[in-house]
Amino acid sequence: MKDTWSTPTMVRSFCFLLSNLHTWKQDGKRIGRKALYSHARESGYSISEHEVRYVLLQMENFGYVKILKGRGGTVITPFGLMH
């Protein structure tokens, strides 16, 4: 996927995922990519599993989240909590 961070869709996806990760953090839970995708679909948010993965990788590059290995899920970082 080419760099598309200037598109409104990618910015909305970033905000949607960050908000959900923040909510899960408050509940003391980690959430994986597939669960984020399922939650988005249940919420009526249109995003593909590939887009979720891409956005999470970019969020990790920017320091907003940490993607854990295996079934560890994704956690929001202190930097991510500030935004």
Say what the pTM is.
Answer: 0.84
Yes or no: say if 50 and 36 are a contact pair by the CB < 8 Å rule: no
Please determine, for residue 65, whether its predicted confidence score (pLDDT) is greater than 60. Answer: yes
Q: Name every residue whose Cβ is closer than 8 Å to that of residue 78 and which is 6 or more positions away in sequence.
A: none
Q: How far apart are CA 83 and CA 73, in angstroms?
A: 20
Domain boundaries 8-81, corresponding CATH code: 1.10.10.10
H/E stretch holding 55: helix 49-62
Domain boundaries along the sequence of the chain = 8-81
Q: pLDDT tens digits, residue range 22-56?
A: 998 888 877 888 999 999 999 998 889 999 999 99
